[in-house]
Structure 1
Amino acid sequence: MSSIRNDHEVARDLATEAGQRLLRLRARHGFAEPEVLRTLGDRTSHEFLFSALGRLRPSDAVLSEEGADDPARLGARRVWIIDPLDGTREFAEVGRTDWAVHVALWENGGLAAGAVALPAQGSTLSTVDPPWLPEERPADQRLRITTSRTRPPAFVERMANRLGAEVVPMGSAGAKICAVLLGIADIYVHAGGQYEWDSAAPVAVAKAAGLHASRIDGSELEYNESDPSLPDILVCRPELSGMLLASIREVADRDGAGPHSVN
């Protein structure tokens, strides 16, 4: 990979290549030992991405789920935020395609580039060429909310009932946000625990495509913070954001909790 490629292309190409390596690992190792496969997947992808970024962008810092957190990133102008294998559980399950590779660049206070590879789905969504969003969703179409298949926030079912929406459980956060980007779902909402690497790359692509992305109280998603915890998120079509944020507040008020306590 040439170092003259722009940051958007670097994010896309690295995420795609890491995903291809994970597919080969999956095929070679099989699924008989899922814990071993998960460990190998995390390590293989991290080592490739960390090494490639060190070669292509040697002056930049890296924050990775699988690497030691270097405090020097807090003073850096450019930080790559990567999740080498998002949806590790799904990666080690036969037939699951809802896992991803995330590569994002944070620069001077905001997300500047990003890519989400969905290797088992044969695609990579990136800020090189963000997905095109239809101008309007069909008015008679039931809302679809995608949320965690293993840790769904308790308030989502109540919110879905209030809105008459269908709940669509999925694995990787990247796969869920890409589902909104691709029109498979209308809303992704999560509360109860995530980190910057879980959302940085998909949020970069979502915002480039024109989606709304925020905390569930409507505040900004902040990256390259001293504490990388970023526990909740809402991603949706922009015309739905006001209604959804109000619905989340109503559910929280009914339960006697603040919006960050609705998990």
Structure 2
Amino acid sequence: MPATDLDLLTEAAIEAGRIARRYWREDPQVWDKGGDDPVSEADLAVDTYLKTELLRARPDYGWVSEETEDDPARLAASRVFIVDPIDGTRAFVAGEPTWAHSLAVAENGRVTAACVYLPVRDKLYCAAVDSGATLNGTPLRASTSDDLDRATVLTPRVTMQDRFWKRGVPTFERHFRPSLAYRLALVGEGRFDAMLTLRPAWEWDIAAGALIATEAGAKVTDRHGSALTFNSVARQTAGVVTAASALHPRIIDALA
């Protein structure tokens, strides 16, 4: 049995990648969960594997997953797994390479171990609390930018509307990736200065990436600048703002 939670998540993420790739570009069966929210047979297969193996190793942990019906018993657990079997299902179904497995452990609301794994791109991001973050074993360091108007920012197109900004939309350079977990990890990697999502964010999309970005030196909060907590009743946060530590307060100040 893996000695640490991070070891356990890492092994599970790699095996999840093997399972998912059996379905990728193989015309997997897909259903609509409602509201144009697809789920594929690969999502379900990975979810089943992760729930079985992770809870076998840590039977006293709670469970939060996009593809598992919520069990309120998790609220009584001091430690929980927070998992998105495939983050970026639309990209996965379309045969695109940018989708990820997002795996985290939270203890009393705080993420303590995390992996974001992109099997097709061969990118394994890992972090443990107070131990730093890595990409394929190489330590990560977030950007040091403090100029919002010149920043590179990962965010959906809808963010570029005046109603979200006090003084009009800044002139930052907008980019996008389909996986929210990957966007967070990319800020930790230092490839982008910030990422924003202003609508409510599901915990399984952000838990792992939030720790990776934090351990790499970025600041991560909700859209109001408040610290994120996990294993909440609603399993959602009030958006996410992740940025270089000097840039983060400038974004919070600029948002309406």
Q: Same fold (TM over 0.5)?
A: yes
- Quick one: distance in 2 between partners of 1:65 and 1:116? 15
What residue number does 1:63 align with?
64
Match of 2:159 among 145, 153, 159: 153
CA distance in 1, matches of 2:222, 2:207: 13
**Could you say what the CA RMSD is over the residues aligned between the two structures, in angstroms?**
2.7
Q: Partner of 1:256 in structure 2?
A: none
1:146/1:72 CA distance change after superposition, 3 Å: same
The structure richer in strand per residue is 2
Distance 1:186 1:241 in 2: 9
Against the structure 1 CA distance between its residues 142 and 44, is the aligned structure 2 distance closer, same or farther, given a 3 Å change threshold? Answer: same
Assess, with a 3 A threshold, how the Cα gap between structure 1 residues 209 and 19 changes in structure 2: closer, same or farther. same
1:154 deviates by 4.8
Q: Given residue 232 of structure 1, which amino acid in structure 2 is its aligned partner?
A: G
1:168, 1:122 → 2: CA distance?
A: 21
The equivalent of 2:16 in structure 1 is: 18
Match of 2:133 in 1: 130
- CA shift, 1:69, in A, is 1.0
- Of Structure 1 and Structure 2, which has the larger fraction of its residues in helix? 1
Q: Which residue of 1 aligns with 2:223?
A: 216
SS at match of 1:177: helix
| Residue aligning to 1:260 | none
Cα displacement (A) at 1:5: 2.3
1:190 aligns with 2:188: no
User: What is the CA deviation profile of residues 103-126 of structure 1, one whole-angstrom value per residue up to 9, with x for unaligned ones?
Assistant: 100113311111111112111101
Distance 1:13 1:52 in 2: 10
CA distance in 2 between partners of 1:98 and 1:157 (Å): 30
Give the CA deviation at 1:148: 3.0
8 Å contact from structure 1 (residues 157, 167) kept in 2: no
CA contact (8 A) 1:195 1:231 kept: no
**Structure 1 residues 41 and 52: alpha-carbon distance in aligned structure 2, compared to 1, 3 A threshold:** same
What are structure 1's unaligned runs of at least 5 residues? 253-263
Give the number of aligned pairs.
Answer: 242
Preserved contact between residue 142 and residue 213 of structure 2 (Cα < 8 Å): no
For the pair 1:232 / 2:244, whether they are aligned, the reply is: no
CA distance in 2 between partners of 1:93 and 1:171 (Å):
11
> Measured at CA, do residues 156 and 116 of structure 1 come closer, stay the same or move farther in structure 2, by a change above 3 Å?
farther
- SS of 1:46's partner is helix
**Alignment correspondent of 1:261:** none
Instruction: For residue 156 of structure 1, report the CA deviation from its aligned partner.
Output: 7.7
> What letter corresponds to residue 167 of structure 1 in structure 2?
R
Matched residue SS, 1:121: coil
Report the identity percentage. Answer: 27
Quote the Cα distance in structure 2 between the aligned partners of 1:156 and 1:91: 32
Q: Do the aligned partners of residues 80 and 113 (structure 1) sit closer, same or farther apart at CA in structure 2, a change above 3 Å counting?
A: same
Shift of 1:138: 9.9
Q: How does 1:1-263 map to 2 (within 5 A)?
A: 3-27=1-25, 29-30=26-27, 38-94=39-95, 96-127=96-127, 130-131=133-134, 132-133=140-141, 136-137=144-145, 142-148=150-156, 152-155=158-161, 162-248=169-255, 252=256
Separation in 1 of the partners of 2:30 and 2:73?
35
